[in-house]
C-alpha cells in the first residue's frame, strides 16, 4: 500500500473532478470530425487546444503516403534505430529534414521527448560536463538532465545576462557545457532571443541546443523556426524538433552541422533502446514536411488566424500572456477560476488547454488557445463568440479586473 500513499491527496481531487465530468485531464475525443473538430461529450466541439498548427492531420498527400508505406513496409519496425529498426524511409526523412533546415546532419528518434533525452543525455558525461537550462524549458529537457546525471544549472527565462552570470561562475573543471533553450515556449507563446543566447553561449565556449518543438514549420521566413527568424540558423549547435506538432505524426529529431552529431547513434541510449517510428508514421511526416515546404500559404494562414484571434481577445480586454503568436494564453489568477473558465468554454463547444502551477511558468493559471492554419472562418467565429462570453462571465480573466 505504501507505494500509493503519496498519491492519495491528488487522486481524491482527480477523481472528484472526473466524477463531475469536468476534468480537463480526462477529455476523450469520442469521434474525430476533421483537423479542427471532434465530438466531446456527445457534442461537436471546435479544437483549439491541439498542436495541429499547420493542420496536417488530414492532409490527403500525407494520408496516401502513410497508406502506401503500410501496404509496402508493414505496421511496425519491431526494433530500435540502432538494431533492426532503421528502414530506407528513416534515412530519407533524416536527409529531408536536414535539407529543409539547411543543416548537415539529422538523427531521427521515436518522439520529441526521446529526441531531447537522446541528445542531451547522449552528449553529456556527468563526470566532466555541465548543462545550463532556461527556467521555463519543457519537462523533457529537465528529464534529460536527470538522465544524464550531470550538474544542471537553471537560468532565468529568456534572460541571456542570467545565463552569462552562471557561465562565468561555472567551475573551470567542467570541460563541456551545453545550454538548452526553446524557440517558442508552449505555455505563453513567447519566443527566445536566440541570437543573444548564441553570443553568450559561444563566448563562454558552451554549445547551444534549441528545442523548436513548437516553432518548427511555424516561425521564420521559410518555417525553419525562431532561429531562422533571428538569423542564426547556421550558429546553433543542436536543433531538436518533433513530428507531433506541425507535421501531425509522431517522432522527433536532432539536427546539427557538427559531423560528430552522428555519434549520437551509438552514444545515445534513447536511440538504442526504444523502437523506431513505424513506416506509416515516417511516411506521413515526410509527406507533411514536403507539403509545408512547398506551400508557404499554410504558414500564412496560421499567422492570419493568430492575428485575428489575438486582436479579438485583446478587444475583449482579456489578460493575454504575449503578443500575437500561434499560442494565445489567457491568464487567470487562481486554479479555481481557470477551471471554471475552461468548463465554461467547453460548454460553449470550444476545447482549449488548461494549465495550472506548477505546470505553468509563473503563479498564474492559464487557458491556452493553440491556433491552426486549418481553423475555418466558422471555427474562428465560434472561438471569438465563446471567448467574448467568457470575458463577460469572468471578470478575473480581464485586464481591468
- Where along the sequence are the contacts to another protein (CB under 8 A)? 133, 135, 142, 145, 151-154, 156, 162, 165-166, 169-170, 357-358
**Binding residues for ligand PLP restricted to 300-359, rule: CB under 6 A:** none
Given ligand PLP, another protein, none, residue 186, with its beta carbon under 5 to 8 Å by kind, binds: ligand PLP
Closest C-alpha to 268, from 111, 130, 115:
115
Region binding ligand PLP by CB under 6 A among candidate stretches 97-105, 160-168, 210-218, 299-307: 210-218
Cell representation of residue 278: 513505424
Given another protein, ligand PLP, none, residue 211, with its beta carbon under 5 to 8 Å by kind, binds: ligand PLP
Q: How far is the CB of 213 from another protein (least distance, A)?
A: 19
Q: How far is the CB of 114 from another protein (least distance, A)?
A: 21
Say if residue 25 is exposed, middle or buried (CB neighbours under 10 Å; 0-12, 13-18, 19+).
Answer: exposed
CB atoms within 10 A of CB 293: 15
Given ligand PLP, another protein, none, residue 358, with its beta carbon under 5 to 8 Å by kind, binds: another protein
Of residues 154 and 202, the one with the C-beta less far from another protein: 154
Given another protein, ligand PLP, none, residue 23, with its beta carbon under 5 to 8 Å by kind, binds: none
Stretch 106-145: interaction string toward ligand PLP, x if CB under 6 A = -----xxx--x---------------------x-x-----
Residue 157 engages ligand PLP in binding (rule: CB under 6 A) = no
**Binding residues for ligand PLP restricted to 214-253, rule: CB under 6 A:** 214, 242, 244, 252
Given another protein, ligand PLP, none, residue 166, with its beta carbon under 5 to 8 Å by kind, binds: another protein
CB 186 within 8 A of CB 126: no
Given another protein, ligand PLP, none, residue 244, with its beta carbon under 5 to 8 Å by kind, binds: ligand PLP
Residue 57 engages ligand PLP in binding (rule: CB under 6 A) = no
Cα 226 from Cα 228, distance rounded (Å): 5
- Sign of the CA dihedral running 210, 25, 249, 366: negative
- How is 55-110 classified by DSSP, letter by letter? -GGG-HHHHHHHHHHHHHH-S---SBTTTT---HHHHHHHHHHHHHHT-SEEEEES
Residue 276 engages ligand PLP in binding (rule: CB under 6 A) = no
Given ligand PLP, another protein, none, residue 113, with its beta carbon under 5 to 8 Å by kind, binds: ligand PLP
Cell representation of residue 82: 540502432
Q: How far is the CB of 166 from another protein (least distance, A)?
A: 5
Coil vs helix vs strand at 245? coil
Please state the φ and ψ torsions of residue 13, each to the nearest 5 degrees: -65, -45
Please state the φ and ψ torsions of residue 9, each to the nearest 5 degrees: -65, -50
- Cβ-Cβ contacts under 8 Å for 121 (sequence gap 6 or more): 144, 147, 148, 268, 269, 270
Tally DSSP H helices, then E strands, for the chain.
15, 14
Cα 157 from Cα 143, distance rounded (Å): 18
Q: How far is the CB of 245 from ligand PLP (least distance, A)?
A: 7
Q: How far is the CB of 56 from ligand PLP (least distance, A)?
A: 14
Residue appearing with cell numbers 482549449: 352
CB 115 within 8 A of CB 97: no
Q: Which residues in this chain contact ligand PLP in the complex, by CB under 6 A?
A: 111-113, 116, 138, 140, 182, 186, 211, 213-214, 242, 244, 252
Amino acid at each position: 500500500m505504501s507505494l500509493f500513499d503519496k498519491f492519495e491527496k491528488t487522486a481524491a481531487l482527480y477523481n472528484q473532478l472526473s466524477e463531475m465530468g469536468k476534468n480537463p485531464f480526462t477529455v476523450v475525443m469520442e469521434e474525430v470530425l476533421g483537423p479542427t473538430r471532434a465530438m466531446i461529450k456527445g457534442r461537436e466541439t471546435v479544437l483549439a487546444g491541439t498542436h495541429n498548427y499547420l493542420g496536417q492531420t488530414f492532409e490527403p498527400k500525407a494520408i496516401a503516403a502513410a497508406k502506401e508505406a503500410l501496404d509496402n513496409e508493414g505496421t511496425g519496425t519491431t526494433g530500435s534505430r540502432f538494431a533492426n529498426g532503421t528502414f530506407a524511409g528513416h534515412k530519407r526523412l533524416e536527409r529531408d529534414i536536414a535539407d529543409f533546415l539547411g543543416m548537415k546532419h539529422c538523427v531521427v528518434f521515436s518522439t520529441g521527448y526521446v529526441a531531447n533525452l537522446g541528445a542531451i543525455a547522449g552528449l553529456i558525461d556527468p563526470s566532466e560536463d555541465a548543462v545550463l537550462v532556461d527556467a521555463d524549458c519543457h519537462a523533457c529537457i529537465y528529464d534529460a538532465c536527470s538522465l544524464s546525471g550531470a550538474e544542471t544549472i537553471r537560468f532565468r527565462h529568456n534572460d541571456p545576462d542570467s545565463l552569462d552570470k552562471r557561465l562565468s561562475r561555472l567551475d573551470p573543471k567542467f570541460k563541456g557545457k551545453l545550454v538548452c533553450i526553446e524557440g517558442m515556449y508552449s505555455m505563453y507563446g513567447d519566443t527566445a532571443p536566440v541570437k543573444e543566447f548564441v553570443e553568450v553561449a559561444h563566448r563562454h565556449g558552451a554549445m547551444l541546443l534549441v528545442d523548436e518543438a513548437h516553432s518548427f514549420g511555424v516561425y521564420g521566413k521559410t518555417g525553419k523556426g525562431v532561429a531562422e527568424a533571428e538569423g542564426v540558423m547556421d550558429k546553433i549547435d543542436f536543433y531538436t524538433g518533433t513530428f507531433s506538432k506541425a507535421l501531425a505524426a509522431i517522432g522527433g529529431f536532432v539536427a546539427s552541422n557538427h559531423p560528430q552529431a552522428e555519434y549520437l547513434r551509438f552514444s545515445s541510449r534513447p536511440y538504442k533502446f526504444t523502437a523506431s517510428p513505424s513506416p506509416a508514421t515516417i511516411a506521413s511526416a515526410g509527406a507533411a514536411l514536403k507539403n509545408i515546404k512547398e506551400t508557404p500559404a499554410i504558414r500564412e494562414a496560421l499567422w492570419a488566424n493568430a492575428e485575428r484571434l489575438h486582436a479579438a481577445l485583446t478587444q475583449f480586454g482579456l489578460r493575454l500572456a504575449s503578443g500575437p503568436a500561434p499560442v494565445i494564453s489567457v491568464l487567470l489568477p487562481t486554479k479555481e477560476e481557470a477551471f471554471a473558465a475552461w468548463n465554461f468554454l467547453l460548454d460553449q463547444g470550444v476545447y482549449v488547454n488548461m494549465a495550472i502551477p506548477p505546470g505553468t511558468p509563473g503563479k498564474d493559471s492559464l487557458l491556452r488557445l493553440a491556433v491552426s492554419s486549418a481553423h475555418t472562418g466558422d471555427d474562428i467565429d465560434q472561438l471569438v463568440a465563446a471567448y467574448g462570453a467568457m470575458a463577460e462571465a469572468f471578470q478575473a480573466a480581464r485586464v481591468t479586473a
